[in-house]
Chain A
Amino acid sequence: MWQTNLKVLAVVLGTLAVFTIVSSSIPQLQSVVPEDLSFSGDVTAEVLVAAGQTLFEGAGGCADCHGSGTRAPNLLADEAGTGLIGVRCASRVAGQDCKAYLYASLVDPNAYLVEGYVPIMADMSRTLSSEQLWALVAYLQSLGGEVTVTGADIESEGSGESTGAAVPASAAAAGPTSTSTDPVEIMTANACLACHIMDGAGAPIGPSFDGIGGRLSADYIRESILDPRAGASEGFGALIQLMPATFGEQLSAAQLEAIVQFLTDRR
């Protein structure tokens, strides 16, 4: 009896060991989490290209399609005699320069379909921020062409871009990083838009800030920020716990008043 038990145990453990060892002896690849990028206005081309390359080979997932030949045009080498991507980009669509074409092929990939391929590429702006998109464009340009992406491109496209990376907790934990009394800056520093929507940016976890001044009085708004547990807004009862209750300590009186004033004015 015990001998049988031991034998069974040995077979089970042995099988598990073989599977575990085999799985551990192949190349170990783990998925790459994209890093949030932020560039200053005078960012250099090298920085952009390097960031774009990392993204292209890793978290962007581009290489899964573009690295394997038949499913998507080759972006690292010549494609059907049209040259490297940094060169052919300029001649793909009449009237579109290289930069514009590459950007368009990321955010609206099916507008121009490279011949011989099916429209399987997704709109990358769904998952990538404007910084990331432009870094990719810069990298692709660098493959045979001249990098013309600058900090200005990123800024002009960059406002109000949401990557779905709503980060309520880390945002709430971040604490005040600014002593400014500019309401937008304070709200950015405290990541209010991680949970609230304003002008189309932010995440819809709490009530929208659009038109909030028309709905609520200054007193009520102040109260909501200082003591969010006091009363839930309609439709958010379950989420009342999400609004951090620590802003009363984090914000100076002047900052608080600046936000309250700002929000009250958003009718």
Chain B
Amino acid sequence: MNGARRWPVCLGGIGLVTLLTLVSPDGLLAQEISRSYGDFPLIGSRAAVWIAAQVHLLFAAFVLGVPMFAVVAEAIGIFGKDRKYDKLAKEFTRLLLVAYSATAIWGAVLSFLLVTLYPRLWVYLTQIFAPSMWVYAGLFFLESFTLYLYYYGWDRWAEGRAKMMHWGLGIMLNVFGTIVMFIANSWLTFMMSPPADVTPDTSPDMVQFWSAFANATWMPINIHRMIANVVFGGAIVGAYAAYRFLTAETDEERAHYDWMGYVGNLIAIGALIVLPFAGYYLGREIYEFSPGMGQTLMGGFMSWLWIIQAFLIGVLFLAGNYYLWVGMGRIPGAERFTPYTKYMLVVLVAGVIVWATPHTMIASRAEIAAMGGTYHPFLGVLGVMSAKNTAVNIMILTTFLSFLLYRRANKEPVVEWAKTGTMIQGVLFVVCAGIVIFYGIYGYFVTAIVRIGFSVYQVLAVIATIFSVLAIDIAIGRGAKSRGAIRWGQMPERSQYALFILAVTFTWLMGLMGYARSGIRQHWHVWEVVRDTSEFAATPALGYASQIISVCVLIFFGLVAFIFWVGGLAEKPVLSGVGSEGGD
């Protein structure tokens, strides 16, 4: 095993972080902070902290997302008695080990940069949050040792009660990881939405810990991040599998990684579908916390960001569906459905266009004056929330339909009511689309408050449809005759590049939303409490942000590639031989 060689790295990283997080304000005595800001050469302090935070966060998201589905895969292995899922779970976990030390190292880099470049803010935050920082460090220890037990104990505790205990370890790993994330989230959400009674004149000692900790945007961010981490983990695993697929030397290997890429993509797209709902929740809380902040976010200098976001999500939906459609080529019987893909493509593209149509757009100050402060005439109709909600819900429905066709492709139902069942499914789809569109149009005729309620009906309709259609589908699939096993591994190479595009786009999107979340504070370190008086107080424009984000994504993928390469040097993972089994 090469694992032993990795230990020192992990321990080193964790040691660093722990040491850092334990640095109480008193520890800073050694360092002069009669200044508020430090200097970082060339790129400046803001970019330095930005890059460190973003790369740290990408690794952190990966090590939080992957354990979630590793545990689920292990459970499928245990309760479904399917060894190949157990193997898959173990391979996921193997990726975690190395990613973990990278997370710790970048966490250390981030903390050092904060201490040296933003000492005043750092002192302020530690005064409020010190105890939670200690707990954080402790949990980090627990989390990493649980991970070691989980991975290195995999083969020893493989049977019976020992296996259940092992699975319990996996659950604990998730619990610790989630708490660690929740704690860190409290610090950054506090900066965004400090409790209303905290003003510039409030001494940090007087800030109530719990009200600062559980601030207005804390829970929405927790939920949003948890889901996004799953999406992200799935996408990275998909890219990893795609790479292994492309470089595979045997058919068996190709089959295994084809399947792994499929699972990764399914997880990513599946979780992506619920993400917008978490996004609405977060947006609503931001708006409630400070309408001014919400307004700046949606209609102020950040308004263009949403067009880029829509563009990226469009890329995701298209690449994800494309992968599914190409994947049908390896399923006997899927030819029946290929004619439909072109219509789905049209619907998706139309959805993307509507979603990318800006709402309140402030292109330039002169333009506001010229328009007399009203909607841009061309953007009014498609740009408002009604149209966008409708578009995104229809896109979700379409993607779900792609997935259904994919599932159905090689099955020949045997249950008597199969035809009726399929018709019911179709009717559900049509009714759901009808509801979504009805409220979309009706939304133009009512006030904003009522309209917000409509989006809830649309979402509920889509969720209800997804669940009921899926339930029917599972029932129909009972004992279905197979039109032939999925020919795992017989996948054109271009489909694998779609997986790379998915992974890069997800990563970039996370960077973009990170910029939005933290840039919306503008010239405040802590919103309307601690002002940013550095030369970097302004939130930069998107062009500059996009360069930084691209650099972060490159660093991240560069490191991931290196880590996986190192990991692969000594180890040849045992393959699960799915080639002969089929199934999804």
Interface residues, chain A, with chain B CB atoms under 8 Å away: 1, 4, 7-8, 11-12, 15-17, 19-20, 22-24, 26-34, 57-59, 61, 63-71, 74-77, 120-122, 126-127, 162-170, 172-173, 197, 200, 202-205, 235, 237-246
Q: Which of B18-53 contact A (CB under 8 A)?
A: 24-26, 28-29, 31-37
- If the complex has contacts A127-B528, A241-B32, are A68 and B299 also in contact, measured as CB distance less than 8 A? yes
Contact of B541 among A11, A29, A172, A243 (CB under 8 A): A29
* Contact B36–A19 (Cβ < 8 Å): no
Supply 23 A–B pairs (Cβ within 8 Å), ascending by A: A11-B500, A12-B504, A19-B508, A19-B546, A22-B308, A24-B542, A24-B547, A26-B304, A28-B542, A28-B544, A29-B541, A30-B540, A30-B541, A32-B301, A33-B523, A74-B372, A74-B373, A76-B368, A76-B372, A122-B292, A126-B199, A164-B529, A172-B34
For residue B323, give the distance in angstroms from its CB to the closest CB of chain A. 14
Looking at B159-167, B356-364, B422-430, the stretch in contact with chain A turns out to be: B356-364
| CB-defined contacts of B24 to chain A, threshold 8 Å | 238
- If the complex has contacts A57-B368, A120-B291, are A244 and B34 also in contact, measured as CB distance less than 8 A? yes
| CB-defined contacts of A122 to chain B, threshold 8 Å | 290-292
**Nearest B residue to A244 by beta-carbon distance?**
B34
* Contact B508–A168 (Cβ < 8 Å): no
For residue B37, give the distance in angstroms from its CB to the closest CB of chain A. 7
| CB-defined contacts of B33 to chain A, threshold 8 Å | 241-242
Q: Is B339 an interface residue (CB 8 A)?
A: no
* Contact A23–B308 (Cβ < 8 Å): yes
**Nearest B residue to A1 by beta-carbon distance?**
B247
| CB-defined contacts of A31 to chain B, threshold 8 Å | 301, 519, 522-523, 538-539
For residue A73, give the distance in angstroms from its CB to the closest CB of chain B. 10
Contact of B547 among A20, A67, A241 (CB under 8 A): A20
A118, B344: Cα distance in complex, Å: 41
Q: Is B4 an interface residue (CB 8 A)?
A: no
For residue B187, give the distance in angstroms from its CB to the closest CB of chain A. 17
| CB-defined contacts of B32 to chain A, threshold 8 Å | 241
Q: Is B295 an interface residue (CB 8 A)?
A: yes
* Contact A57–B202 (Cβ < 8 Å): no
> 9 closest pairs, A vs B, by CB?
A164-B200, A238-B25, A23-B546, A169-B36, A120-B291, A24-B543, A28-B541, A64-B300, A204-B203
Contact of B200 among A22, A59, A74, A163 (CB under 8 A): A163
Contact of B364 among A27, A32, A165, A239 (CB under 8 A): A27
Contacts A20-B550, A57-B365 known; 6 new A-B pairs at CB < 8 A: A11-B501, A16-B504, A30-B540, A69-B373, A76-B369, A164-B199
* Contact B311–A22 (Cβ < 8 Å): yes
For residue A198, give the distance in angstroms from its CB to the closest CB of chain B. 12
**Nearest A residue to B366 by beta-carbon distance?**
A57
**Nearest B residue to A241 by beta-carbon distance?**
B33
| CB-defined contacts of B363 to chain A, threshold 8 Å | 27
Contact of B292 among A4, A64, A68, A69 (CB under 8 A): A64
* Contact B542–A8 (Cβ < 8 Å): no
Q: Is B322 an interface residue (CB 8 A)?
A: no
Q: Is B375 an interface residue (CB 8 A)?
A: yes
* Contact A165–B531 (Cβ < 8 Å): yes
* Contact A16–B373 (Cβ < 8 Å): no
For residue A210, give the distance in angstroms from its CB to the closest CB of chain B. 12
* Contact A239–B25 (Cβ < 8 Å): yes
Interface centre among B24, B31, B206, B362, by most chain A C-beta atoms within 10 angstroms, is B362
A187, B246: Cα distance in complex, Å: 70
* Contact A65–B291 (Cβ < 8 Å): yes
**Nearest B residue to A166 by beta-carbon distance?**
B200
| CB-defined contacts of B537 to chain A, threshold 8 Å | 33
**Nearest B residue to A173 by beta-carbon distance?**
B35
For residue B497, give the distance in angstroms from its CB to the closest CB of chain A. 5
| CB-defined contacts of A57 to chain B, threshold 8 Å | 365, 368
Contact of A197 among B201, B290, B375, B501 (CB under 8 A): B201
| CB-defined contacts of A237 to chain B, threshold 8 Å | 26
Q: Is B460 an interface residue (CB 8 A)?
A: no
* Contact A68–B374 (Cβ < 8 Å): yes
Interface centre among B28, B374, B530, by most chain A C-beta atoms within 10 angstroms, is B374
- If the complex has contacts A75-B373, A77-B372, A238-B123, are A70 and B533 also in contact, measured as CB distance less than 8 A? no
**Nearest B residue to A59 by beta-carbon distance?**
B523
**Nearest B residue to A56 by beta-carbon distance?**
B365
Contact of A11 among B25, B497, B546 (CB under 8 A): B497
| CB-defined contacts of A204 to chain B, threshold 8 Å | 201-203, 206
